[in-house]
A and B are shown apart, each in its own frame.
Chain A
């Protein structure tokens, strides 16, 4: 599947059979040399080069929307090529989605499907596309929310019941022949591009592609072209070029693409500068609050019993062996998880006991409960959560801080299905797990991700071993006052230091040394001690 420009289509086509030529084409160019194939961007997928830097300010709110580009143009005019070249020339842009209009074909009636199979359905008409859905998905993505786009099967000529989850792109490129047709869609674009291509060239490309790659005969291709493709282009596609900010030639367009990507880069740079002004570096975080942390109603500290102090002593001790460390970590995480479940909602429930008496008890009133751990350090808390809710759905976020700036980067996310869907996310309670809250940068980002998905702040319970009194906890609480934090201890210090690499004594390094903010007295690097 990876050979040839069609590979991009596999995202939305479950079957490998070439789709009928009647359908709208989205393949790339005729001159797609094999060397450029590796750089081809998959459609309807979040493409990442490196992690996603913060997209929100100190107040916890997103600072700017994603940058949205609309690319329209005739069939086989080279829209996808232009989109891919833009992505390619932007180089180090963290996250990009190329959204294809083809995903938004309407759900068809049986009669329409029959017509489609007989090549008598006009797929090139604007009415064939579910514009309101297209616009709402695009609007979600633009405002940094998740969306679930439909999947259209060209073999069945029908929209499938499954949807594809997309989240977290800084740049969105929507492309399709009708991309500039709908006024609601047009209102969403930051940049509108029309790919202008000579009709003869488009037809030539189309014939070559359909004959060579899809085994169609020339007569059939021409008939379809004359019946649907050409009238549609003249009546609906070409007129939308007047809405475009830039008209790009369909071939030899290197200069145009260079200009476009320069423009986009400048726009993104401006946004990044604005963002940096809003963001707080760890050094600014030392802003002591007047109220002691312990008095904060949304921070639940485990009762400081002798056993708890004993466990913490074991965990803090540098001489504690790995086996003991893991055992006591699991024990403490279980205890924390038990404490955290106290904050779930409960409702009355009557049951009949074995001796046929009625007992008026309670049950959890949350529709969906799941866990999300911030990797790697959140991992040690998973065991405890599973001991408390054995079948809990677990998701994860990989957030790492960038070595040079200390800025957190979202590298990967895998969320439970109940959060992926906006409707169920509202009724979902989430245990967010991380070993400690130091600068709170990762916690901040993780909470923002959950809020972007529609989880209510009051439904987020952050479970952690340690909170640094002088760290980012204050900023976190100010930005997200509804989020509850459950911790085992509050430590006084937070300082930046060089964490030396650990080696097993035989010269082989287990971890590399690195600069990091550490909580003190703390427990050292909990992830390293638990896993390495």
Chain B
């Protein structure tokens, strides 16, 4: 039996599609973001504190995986009605910024397989174009944690989801994890439609950020 609609510790703001989950906006999380936004933050601190946020995001992302009831015996002989993890997972990072999230993922999911996708903007068509994709052989049977720190126009994310779907992964098995996401109303003129609307049932996980500072340049330069 698979438990459906796994409860989550997170909330979904009304203005966002129900598939988007935001971490609880605690003072502590805000302090973490303050450090990684500060341009004077050292590289070491940037990596350390972004890893902390990524771990929290991945932990939350994993809550969307199914579990099955499982009874175990404890070392003192008591029984515990717990749950067992169900379903295999893999990570897919969108190069290059997505790679920065791999360490955080590995800290939570030991020896997880990680696929890579390189998407760049085609200078002729101005559309995102797939340059490279190396994914686990059996990706179709896995849940996919898609990693990209920034979600602005959502162009490359949408392309990545498309690629993963082409490899046989159903949309509802893709969990998209990102650190900051531009709010749709503040997107620039070239912005496409918000990715979560386009992706339908895809579960987008995000943490809010003012749009004007969430350009691709920023994270790619910093990560």
Contact = CB atoms under 8 A, between A and B. Distances in A.
Interface of A: 303, 305-307, 309-310, 312-313, 316-319, 327, 331, 334-335, 338, 341-342, 344, 346, 349, 351-357, 359, 361-364, 387-388, 390, 493, 497, 499, 518, 520-525, 529
Interface of B: 3, 6-9, 26-28, 30-31, 33-35, 37-40, 48, 52, 55-56, 59, 62-63, 65-67, 70, 72-76, 78-80, 82-85, 107-108, 110, 210, 212-213, 215, 217-218, 221-222
B9 A497 contact: no
A305 B8 CA distance: 6
A520 B63 contact: no
A363 B31 contact: yes
A81 B166 CA distance: 88
Task: Name the residue in B65, B67, B72 with the highest tally of chain A Cβ atoms < 10 Å from its Cβ.
Answer: B72
B34 A362 contact: yes
A316 B81 CA distance: 10
A464 B52 CA distance: 20
B76 A313 contact: no
Task: Name the residue in A309, A349, A361, A493 with the highest tally of chain B Cβ atoms < 10 Å from its Cβ.
Answer: A361
Contacts of B38: 351-353, 359
A316 B80 contact: yes
B108 A305 contact: no
B74 A353 contact: no
B218 A313 contact: no
A305 B66 CA distance: 11
Contact of B33 (A305, A306, A355, A361): A361
A354 B180 CA distance: 14
Task: Name the residue in B82, B213, B222 with the highest tally of chain A Cβ atoms < 10 Å from its Cβ.
Answer: B82
Contacts, number: 146
A311 B70 CA distance: 12
The 10 closest A-B CB pairs, nearest first, are A361-B34, A524-B75, A313-B82, A303-B9, A351-B38, A317-B72, A346-B27, A521-B80, A521-B78, A520-B78
Nearest to A390: B48
A21 B167 CA distance: 89
A524 B74 CA distance: 6
B31 A354 contact: no
Contact of B73 (A309, A318, A352, A361): A318
A327 B63 CA distance: 18
B74 A306 contact: no
Nearest to B6: A306
A522 B78 CA distance: 8
Contacts of A355: 212-213, 215, 217-218
Contacts of A521: 74, 76, 78-80
A309 B86 CA distance: 13
B48 A309 contact: no
A338 B73 contact: no
A39 B83 CA distance: 58
Nearest to B221: A354
A390 B73 CA distance: 35
A331 B105 CA distance: 11
B110 A359 contact: no
B72 A306 contact: no
A523 B9 CA distance: 24
Contacts of A346: 27-28, 30-31
Contacts of A390: 48
Contacts of B107: 331, 334, 387
Contact of A342 (B26, B37, B63, B75): B26
A287 to B, nearest CB: 23
A331 B108 contact: yes
Nearest to A323: B110
B87 to A, nearest CB: 11
Contacts of A357: 210, 212-213
A306 B65 contact: yes
Nearest to B7: A305
